[in-house]
Structure 1
Amino acid sequence: MTRETYATTEGRTALAADAYVYGAPLVHRLWKVRACLQGSSAVPAPTPFNAFAHADGPAAPGTHAPFVPVDLVDSLAQLDLSGGPVRLHVPDTGGAYFVLRFVDAWSNVFAYLGSRATGAGEGDWLVVPPGWAGTVPDGLSGVIDAPTSVVSVVGGLACDGHDDMARIRSLQQELTLTHLGDRAHRTGLPSAESGVPDELRFFEELRVWMADFPPAAADRAYQDRFQPLGLLEEGVSPYTSASPGLVRALTRGLALGRSRVEEALRSAEAGGPQGSWHTEPHLRDYNLDHFGVGTVGPPEWQVPDREASYLLRAVAARWPGQPSHGYEAVDAHTPHDSRGRPFDGAHSYTLRLVKPPPVRAFWSVTVYDGPGGHLAPDPEERHAVGSRTPGLVYGEDGSLTLRLSARRPAEAAGAANWLPVPAGAFRPVMRLYLPERAVLDGSYVIPPVERLRAEARPSSG
């Protein structure tokens, strides 16, 4: 479009939709950062910059975030590098799986530490801000170059249930951050200007945060297109007294951009034959510029088209669960059984794995209730079954048949391989940590879940 086109309401509406798709990952990521600083459902108490917040156990019913894994105990830190580098100490996990993912302000996963990336041993890492040229202290395992001055560290320690929490808590205490900069780091994010109408709040926050957290150099020409929307204005916000035409274009563009992302999200979740499990191992391939410690770069793990990467990034920002590339972990989910029927706890189901999923760490299946994606209450607290579950019964041919039902199966093998489901609608999710090539290229196919016949809904008595 030409500059003259952007002078019309229709032109600015289309441009605002592009700006939403481009900027939503930045705004959504920093909303999460701010929620952690202020306290939210994800963090029990406000946690300042450059400090870890640790979960007190595996996810449980009542956890507000949807589709939370029960295999890992979460650790989360928001780093502010505006005052200089931060030193990160990583404990020795004794061979147990763990991962720390580094996510910049634009939602790019740009570095990993952990079992796959750097090994399970102890180490110290220096996380440095963009353009830093200081002296690296002796005795470090390495340096992590951050693309933006605010970074999220999203961590998980493999846990074998509540009996394993003493070990986990000891590791959490050793996972530490030390600010090494010669200036005080900030205590909060740059604030949007007061007086901006609520319907323009997204664009005001995008304007402020784009200025404070510049994108990759290759993105700046695309970002410059948004000048007619006021997104590149410095100083006083243009949205405190925006013209009616600009307000109309921005609000319509916001709705249009959201619809575009929602449609792409639905398309990403759809497709495949009845009962097939859907995976998205390349959902995080929108990072085109920053490949740090532990990442796998292009061409396989990079989308070829930069503008297409913006939409993929916006979809990933809305995807439930924590950010990770497919080579670290893959989530597979299916909303229907082998005949295309939605799952319902009134029936019992089986999942027969002729061969175990090929992984280098472990795999598990977890059941979540209906559309909310939350764990259902279970007196036995048996929220996942997988390769680390003790006592699983395998067939003589090496196959494994999992039983998904609201009632405990009467037969011993079924009870050993049982995954409880809620009485109503539910959705199973399989997680594969450090998947092998067969998972990533689709040659390993998870079989559909089969519904058993003549199953009645459990009585409430």
Structure 2
Amino acid sequence: MSEEQTSELVELAAEAYVYGYPLVFDLSMVETCLHKGFGALVAAPFNQFSHADRLADADAHFVSVNNDTVYSIAQLDLSGGPVRLHVPDTDGAYYVLQFVDAWSNNFAYVGRRATGTEAGDWLVVPPGWAGTAPDDVRGVIDAPTSVVTIVGRNACDGPEDLERRVRALQEQLTLTHIEPGEHRTGLPAPDAGVPVELRFFEQLRVWMADFPPSAADRAHQDRFQPLGLLEEGPSPYVPAGSALVRALTEGLALGKERVEAASRPGAGGAGGDGGGGGWSMNPHLFDYNLDHFGVGTIDSPEWKIADREASYLARAVAARVGLWGNHGYEAVYAQTFHDADGAPLSGAHRYELRFDESPPVDAFWSVTMYDTPDYFLVANPAGRYSIGDRTPGIVRADDGSLTLHISRERPADPAAAANWLPAPEGEFRPMLRLYMPQSAVLDGRYEIPAVRRVEEAGRG
């Protein structure tokens, strides 16, 4: 193989990484949920909910996990037929059940914004299902892939609210098979004999075959034939020659760098803050779904990325920085890495974030602290990972404004301590979440105040 041919394969492998990363990352998390669990979520088999018994904390090693809602997550396998989902009446309280296919596309929503808060049943059906839905279901949710994830979030105001209200709602959230049929117990297994450095491509090959994307995406992925990604049967990567191994490993590294580069501050893909202290607030970070619009979604041009090939990098970035995040019309996520003067945010300093008025939302808002570069919650002695309009005891000024205090050490002033968001020792990234954002957020009129440095950490 000539150097030119190898270079072409390297480039093709990099494209395949960007294209396939969301599928591999998503299904790797599905496997984690099935066999290990994470954070407060214990492992659960297909078609059974795992309910968190607490808000997420530093033990939840999941990228950008929220600390506002209690998770109820289920991995659905529809290979044996439809599954009936029952949702309870939340009496007006915020909740959302987000449906995510194997490629990380959000294709349906059930919840306060999308369908209201009354009780009801929904039928989740596999691709190509031609059966008849029971008369008593509220609707049919057509799944694009035979394995999908339901990410349930119940608003929770703290431990007392969890015990008083949320647990009862979790117990009423059920899944039931409605047709006799065998459901798989795990995902298709990649060939164990594939070298570690090629495992990503083996996972992509096996899972791409079992969970085919839309017709338009299938046409795009045909280009990856020279990489062996479309081969069926025994893995082509066990006996792979040195030239192909080189192309795949170099392409993997190149693809990773492209995703990381697009995810960095100022890159635009993930919505970096540009280094000037402003917040990135991209309501369209999850607009890469172009083909499947079910219950609760908005099928209109403003919520779709116009360029399909550009959508693949956007999808990879969204998976990297916020896997299983919602469309902007359900919730908007804003992040910043710098203070008002453009310096990186660091636990070596103290900061203030002052809201003259509450952010414009129809549900609630919060600011959550994450480390970098993993975007995990940060352990702290106070056990506080986020702060917002529902935080007990927060202190507003006489004019109604709210100043949050961000620092590694607890402020000495009691009012400041009530409004304290603990920071780690090193650099960090706060994220502002806006649940059911109003139009001023979605059309860009709302401007989030900058985080301002006030003094060195540790100085009284």
TM-score normalised to structure 1 length: 0.92
| Contact 2:409/2:457, CA 8 A, preserved across alignment | no
2:116 corresponding residue in structure 1: 119
SS in 2 for 1:126: strand
SS in 2 for 1:276: coil
Report the Cα offset of residue 145 of structure 1. Answer: 0.2
2:100 pairs, out of 103, 109, 117, with: 103
Superposed CA deviations along residues 33-73 of structure 1, whole A, max 9, x for unmatched, are 11111114357543110001111100123332243211111
Structure 1 residues 377, 214: CA separation in 2 closer, same or farther (over 3 Å shift)? closer
1:438 corresponding residue in structure 2: 440
1:227 corresponding residue in structure 2: 225
Work out the CA distance in 2 between the residues paired with 1:69 and 1:62: 12
2:149 pairs, out of 143, 152, 161, with: 152
Instruction: Tell me the amino acid that sits aligned with residue 33 of structure 1.
Output: V
1:384 corresponding residue in structure 2: 386
Work out the CA distance in 2 between the residues paired with 1:44 and 1:365: 23
Equivalences for residues 272-421 of structure 1 within 5 A: 272=274, 274-320=276-322, 322-369=324-371, 371-409=373-411, 411=413, 413-421=415-423
Superposed CA deviations along residues 240-274 of structure 1, whole A, max 9, x for unmatched, are 21222222222222222112212211213434362
1:242 corresponding residue in structure 2: 240
SS in 1 for 2:238: coil
| Contact 1:346/1:458, CA 8 A, preserved across alignment | no
* Residue 218, structure 1, aligned to residue 216, structure 2: yes
SS in 2 for 1:448: coil
Report the Cα offset of residue 429 of structure 1. Answer: 1.9
| Contact 2:367/2:433, CA 8 A, preserved across alignment | yes
Report the Cα offset of residue 343 of structure 1. Answer: 3.0
SS in 2 for 1:256: helix
Report the Cα offset of residue 307 of structure 1. Answer: 0.8
SS in 2 for 1:316: helix
2:188 corresponding residue in structure 1: 190
Superposed CA deviations along residues 90-123 of structure 1, whole A, max 9, x for unmatched, are 1111111111110101111100111111111111
Report the Cα offset of residue 212 of structure 1. Answer: 1.1
* Residue 23, structure 1, aligned to residue 20, structure 2: yes
* Residue 137, structure 1, aligned to residue 134, structure 2: yes
Q: Percent identity?
A: 62
1:35 corresponding residue in structure 2: 32
Instruction: Tell me the amino acid that sits aligned with residue 438 of structure 2.
Output: E
Superposed CA deviations along residues 307-364 of structure 1, whole A, max 9, x for unmatched, are 1111111111111353211111112121222112233445432211122100010011
Structure 1 residues 381, 202: CA separation in 2 closer, same or farther (over 3 Å shift)? closer
| Contact 1:5/1:11, CA 8 A, preserved across alignment | no
Structure 1 residues 404, 203: CA separation in 2 closer, same or farther (over 3 Å shift)? closer
1:261 pairs, out of 250, 259, 262, with: 259
Work out the CA distance in 1 between the residues paired with 2:273 and 2:382: 35
* Residue 429, structure 1, aligned to residue 431, structure 2: yes
Report the Cα offset of residue 370 of structure 1. Answer: 5.2
Work out the CA distance in 2 between the residues paired with 1:225 and 1:426: 40
| Contact 1:102/1:154, CA 8 A, preserved across alignment | yes
Work out the CA distance in 2 between the residues paired with 1:329 and 1:6: 48
1:251 pairs, out of 235, 245, 249, with: 249
1:60 corresponding residue in structure 2: 57
Work out the CA distance in 2 between the residues paired with 1:81 and 1:341: 49
Report the Cα offset of residue 394 of structure 1. Answer: 3.2
Instruction: Tell me the amino acid that sits aligned with residue 73 of structure 2.
Output: L
Structure 1 residues 273, 265: CA separation in 2 closer, same or farther (over 3 Å shift)? closer
SS in 1 for 2:217: helix
Structure 1 residues 388, 240: CA separation in 2 closer, same or farther (over 3 Å shift)? same
Report the Cα offset of residue 412 of structure 1. Answer: 5.4
Work out the CA distance in 2 between the residues paired with 1:5 and 1:411: 69
Superposed CA deviations along residues 131-150 of structure 1, whole A, max 9, x for unmatched, are 10111112111110000100
Structure 1 residues 81, 258: CA separation in 2 closer, same or farther (over 3 Å shift)? same
Aligned length: 455
TM-score normalised to structure 2 length: 0.92
Work out the CA distance in 1 between the residues paired with 2:301 and 2:438: 18
1:207 pairs, out of 205, 208, 220, with: 205
RMSD: 2.3
